[in-house]
């Protein structure tokens, strides 16, 4: 929801389940890791 990956309504109406949320969380972690690595490499 915060990063625009899903809508709050999708959580309420069970369109998304915990597995979907876990996948999105993993994707956000990878994005953050990649951003950190890119910043360190550019120094």
Name the band, by pLDDT with cuts 50, 70 and 90, for residue 15: very high
Range of the domain at 32: 8-41
Residue 1 in this model has a pLDDT that exceeds 70: no
Q: Where are the alpha helices (DSSP H) in the chain?
A: 8-12, 18-41
Residue 2 in this model has a pLDDT that exceeds 80: no
Determine, yes or no, domain membership for 15.
yes
Higher pLDDT, 43 or 40: 40
Residue 29's φ and ψ, nearest 5 degrees, are: -60, -45
Could you give the CA distance from residue 38 to residue 41 in angstroms, rounded to a whole number? 5
Determine, yes or no, domain membership for 37.
yes
Instruction: Identify the pLDDT of residue 3.
Output: 83
Q: Residues near 20 by Cβ (< 8 Å), separated by ≥ 6?
A: 6
Determine, yes or no, domain membership for 26.
yes
Residue 21 in this model has a pLDDT that exceeds 90: yes
Determine, yes or no, domain membership for 2.
no
**Number of domains within the chain:** 1
Mean pLDDT for 30-39 is 97
């Amino acid at each position: 929801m915060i990063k625009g990956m899903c809508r709050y309504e999708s959580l309420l109406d069970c369109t998304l389940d915990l597995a979907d949320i876990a996948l999105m969380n993993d994707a956000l972690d990878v994005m953050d890791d990649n951003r950190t690595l890119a910043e360190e490499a550019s120094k």
